[in-house]
Amino acid sequence: MRPEGPAEAAGAGRCCLGGHEVTLPGHPQLLRDAAGELRLEGHSLAELGRRFGTPLYVYSRAAMLDALAGYQRALAGLPHLICYAMKANSNLAVLQTFARAGCGFDIVSGGELERVLAAGGDPAKIVFSGVGKTAAEMRRALEAGVRCFNVESLGELERLSAVAVAAGRRAPVSLRVNPDVDAGTHPYISTGLKDNKFGIPHDEALAAYRRAAALPGLAVVGIDCHIGSQITQLEPYLDALGRLLDLVEAVEAAGIALHHVDVGGGLGITYTDETPPSPEALVRALAELMRARGHGQRELLVEPGRSLVGNAGVLLTEVQYLKPGETKNFCIVDAAMNDLVRPAMYEAWMAIEPCQLRAGAAPVWDVVGPVCESGDWLGRDRALALEPGDLLAVLSAGAYGMAMAGNYNSRPRAAELLLDGDAVHVVREREDSRALFALERLLA
Backbone phi, then psi, for 119, in 5-degree steps? -85, 0
| Amino acid found at 274 | E
Distance CA 16, CA 92 (A): 36
Detail the residues annotated as belonging to a binding site. 266, 303-306, 342, 346, 373, 400
372 is catalytic: yes
Which residues, listed in sequence order, are joined to residue 149 by a DSSP beta bridge?
Answer: 128, 173
Detail the residues annotated as belonging to a binding site for substrate. 306, 342, 346, 373, 400
- DSSP state letters, 407-438: -GGGPPPPEEEEEETTEEEEEEPPP-HHHHTT
Distance CA 116, CA 191 (A): 24
List Cα–Cα distances, 311 to 44, 216, 268, 271, 350, in angstroms: 17, 45, 10, 8, 11
Identify whether the C-beta of residue 355 lies closer than 8 Å to the C-beta of residue 392: yes
Q: Which residues contact 21 (CB under 8 A, 6 or more apart)?
A: 31, 32, 33, 34
Detail the residues annotated as belonging to a binding site for pyridoxal 5'-phosphate. 266, 303-306, 400
Distance CA 357, CA 390 (A): 10
Which listed residue (16, 225, 331, 372) is catalytic?
Answer: 372
Residues classed as catalytic = 372
